[in-house]
Amino acid sequence: MQPFKFLPYFKNTIWGGTEISRFKGLSSNCTDIGESWEISAIPGYESIVAEGEYAGMTLTELVATLKGRLVGEQVYRRFGNNFPLLVKFIDANDDLSLQVHPDDELAYERHRSLGKTEMWYILATRDNAKIHTGFSRPVTKEEYLRRVSEGTLLEVIGSFDSKPGDLFFLPAGRIHAIGAGNLLVEIQESSDITYRVDDYNRRDSQGRLRELHTELAVDAINFTHPADETSLPDSVRNAPSAKLVECRHFNVTKEEINGEREIENRSDSFAALICISGEGKIIVDGISTRIQCGETVLMPASVGNFTLSGNFTLLAATVPPATHTSTHEAEREADMVAEPAY
């Protein structure tokens, strides 16, 4: 089997801009793109195989056809035909709303969906770009509700300067917002359940205020999550291969290729390979697949060894084996669906 390329889904938003077009080398006429969904099984936004024998299939159809050969046997046992991750590029030309995502238990209870733990890897920033995450001090539910009504909640949210190469890890339940001037990669559970807490009284193209989910968010917010910046030491930033995130939902590494390197897959998982700079080739059984900045390919789990050749940098996302997963949890994961956002 060879790596799979998909047609990206470009999502126009009121806060989007032109940076995704530039980053991907697309037409300069592509404006107001807030997100490029690279690998997605969200209904209505499913990735479509771009070329080859399976061209035209949705990602869900591809998983149902190839099963463990594509995603890994341990992944397929847990999630069945539901692909467990979502990969995006996000261009925040303006501030995104202050929001929170439910964990797996609450998302299943309310929406029969996975929760949403995610990570952001910063690709480019404008001057004074910020990431807002967690509480800057302890906050009660009562204070939260009062500040939402007053429009002062951001006063108690942690705020950090962001720059290329920064990493922010956001477990479900941590309140957060992407500030204007950030271009980033988002790797997350396959869920689009978002509870919008504050949108700065911003109006859409029809002049309407966007819906808030203040009450729904109360049960989702973990009020013990402090403000938290995940800063990467220079030893990690400059390493040719480095672990960025290890959690129960996904593992992410950074791979810098200058020449040629053999990669061995020991994880019994697919790998989402996200090219964040340069260009090169992925070689499987002597067959080359070109990859360039802004592209994402899906490496099947059944591919043991492959070669990366060229001058480029990848983020590689895989799904680790479950630890202490009960029969009930396994059944719930396989039964979950990814719902559209509020």
End-to-end CA distance of the chain: 37
Residue whose structure tokens are 């050969």: 69
Q: How far is it, in rounded angstroms, from Cα 334 to Cα 55?
A: 25
| Catalytic residue selected from 196, 203, 210, 237 | 196
**C-alpha to C-alpha distance for 142 and 139, rounded to whole angstroms:** 8
C-alpha–C-alpha distance, residues 198 and 303, integer Å: 45
Q: What single DSSP character describes residue 226?
A: B
Which residue has tokens 């126009």?
12
Beta bridge partners of 4: 298
Asked whether the beta carbons of 175 and 100 are under 8 A apart, the reply is yes
196 annotated active-site: yes
Coil vs helix vs strand at 133: strand
Per DSSP, the residues of 164-219 read TT-EEEE-TT--EEEPTTEEEEEEEES----EEEE-TT-B-TTSPBPP--HHHHHH
Q: Which residues of 31-42 are buried (b: 16+ CB within 10 A; e: fewer)?
A: ebbbbbbbbbbb
Active site residues: 196
